[in-house]
Amino acid sequence: MIKTVELFAGVGGFRLGLEQASSKFKTIWANQWEPSMKKQYAFDCYISHFGNDVNHICKDIAEVKGTIPDHDLLVGGFPCQDYSIMKKGSLGIEGPKGVLWWQINDIIKSKSPKYVLLENVDRLVWSPSKQNGRDFSIILRCLYENGYAVEWRIINAADYGQAQRRRRTFIFAYHKTTSYYRDFAEQVCINGLKQMHKCLTDYGVLAKAFPVASHSNQFVDNWIDELKYAEITDLSANQKVHLYNSGVMMNGRIYSVELYPIQTNPILLKDILENTRVSSKYYLKEKDMDKWIYEKGAKNELRKHPNGKTYIFKEGKVQFPDSLNKPSRTILTSESELGRATHVVTDFETGKLRVLTPVECERLNGFPDNWTNTGMPERMRYFCMGNALVVPLITRMAKVLDKTFNAED
């Protein structure tokens, strides 16, 4: 059994992906709470699939993190925020309140799970734009201080056979007590950076789950340990590094390189559209057509900042309607609202323009049809899918993790 804890569980994408890989993954504790919402739709969806258990908790993680039981694997998708930290007098370091990374860090520090698998948006690796790589380096430094090595990779789901061009950063960390860590540490001692490179291209968990075709010639060799930055606050103030779409951190040393995938044919948008007649409520309304055309079109116009200062706003046009012969773009929480990011497709049956249905959004994330049809308003079904992950990607990683997991550790 691989005792798993699921943070920021949403509608259960991680759990579903893990359970589809192996019955060894047992979620022994899960947490989901949508701030400032009276009705907790995502949590209700979660328990309607996985049961109303005392260990499925709908409260702010900050309030309940102290009750988390011992576990082997910690998983969760958390928001990309500003992780910068300051020295707070003699009270030690302090991250901004409400920044969820610091909650995860507290849990990792107190529970030391053998493995950690986290998901976040792709820009996490570069953010913030004024100090490239700082936030990700903070995360790596925290994991280093807590006794972990880390592999990361930005995956475009469509590269690995999925229906959506959703790019997400996956962070896989393993504790120094695991044999996986010990074997890797020993090899890095002997072969140095070459071994770190091989971990990313050949034998690491992410490399096995997402096979690599080739890599760039440029790479980053960088340190985030206490010799370079005595305190994490120094790192927060000064670290600046352009990281690539994959990397590894061992003993405070980072190696990062751009990887190119061995692509699997993606599923196309036309393959996931419902082939029965959809309700007319999904069709674009004649009265809104001008707004849709404006939103999707190119712009070069004078706009005003809130302080009254004017500026020229420019953006290119986006494809309208969306191509059915490609995987979809990324679905956002605002999917189906009148706006530039919402997908608009030509309906098979009627030839009219329409938005995607909630079931189509579930398909784009690899969830079973009607997963979120658990009593929430449609608007929330789109919202939950915009927040969720592409489930089959988790299954791919979990299959490798299942083989890597050593019950003796």
Catalytic residues: 80
13 is an interface residue for ligand SAM by CB under 6 A:
yes
Task: Give me the residue whose beta carbon is nearest to ligand SAM.
Answer: 10
Helix (H) or strand (E) holding 382: helix 378-387
Residue from 1, 23, 53, 60 touching ligand SAM (CB under 6 A): that is 60
Residue 389 CB, nearest approach to ligand SAM (Å): 5
10 is an interface residue for ligand SAM by CB under 6 A:
yes
How far apart are the C-alpha atoms of 211 and 24, rounded to whole Å?
24
Residues 6+ apart with CB under 8 A from 170: 117, 118, 119, 152, 153, 154, 155, 206, 393, 397
Structural contact between residues 46 and 12, judged by C-beta atoms closer than 8 angstroms: yes
Cα-to-chain-centroid distance, residue 116: 13
Residue from 125, 154, 388, 390 touching ligand SAM (CB under 6 A): that is 388
- Tell me the window of 7-15, 161-169, 255-263, 283-291 that interacts with ligand SAM (CB under 6 A): 7-15
Residue 256 CB, nearest approach to ligand SAM (Å): 24
- Tell me the window of 26-34, 154-162, 279-287, 400-408 that interacts with ligand SAM (CB under 6 A): 26-34
Residues 6+ apart with CB under 8 A from 268: 163, 324, 325, 326, 327
Q: Which is nearer to ligand SAM, 9 or 199 (CB)?
A: 9
77 is an interface residue for ligand SAM by CB under 6 A:
yes
| Cis upstream peptide for 368 (omega within 30°) | no
SS3 label, residue 332: coil
How far apart are the C-alpha atoms of 124 and 137, rounded to whole Å?
10
For 259, the token pair is 């990887």
CA dihedral (195, 141, 143, 7) positive or negative: negative
205 is an interface residue for ligand SAM by CB under 6 A:
no
Helix (H) or strand (E) holding 404: helix 391-404
- Tell me the window of 2-10, 258-266, 270-278, 372-380 that interacts with ligand SAM (CB under 6 A): 2-10
Residue 5 CB, nearest approach to ligand SAM (Å): 13
Q: Which is nearer to ligand SAM, 253 or 329 (CB)?
A: 329
Q: Which is nearer to ligand SAM, 53 or 349 (CB)?
A: 53
Residue 328 CB, nearest approach to ligand SAM (Å): 17
In the window 368-387, what residues touch ligand SAM (CB under 6 A)? 387
266 is an interface residue for ligand SAM by CB under 6 A:
no
- Tell me the window of 5-13, 233-241, 261-269, 323-331 that interacts with ligand SAM (CB under 6 A): 5-13
Residue from 163, 188, 196, 389 touching ligand SAM (CB under 6 A): that is 389
Supply φ then ψ for residue 343, to 5 degrees.
Answer: -75, 140
14 is an interface residue for ligand SAM by CB under 6 A:
yes
Q: At what angle do helices 41-50 and 378-387 cross, to 10 degrees?
A: 80
Residues 6+ apart with CB under 8 A from 228: 235, 252
In the window 30-59, what residues touch ligand SAM (CB under 6 A)? 31-35, 42
How far apart are the C-alpha atoms of 77 and 170, rounded to whole Å?
9
Using CB under 6 A as the criterion, which residues of the chain lie in contact with ligand SAM when the complex forms? Answer: 8-11, 13-14, 31-35, 42, 60-61, 77, 387-389
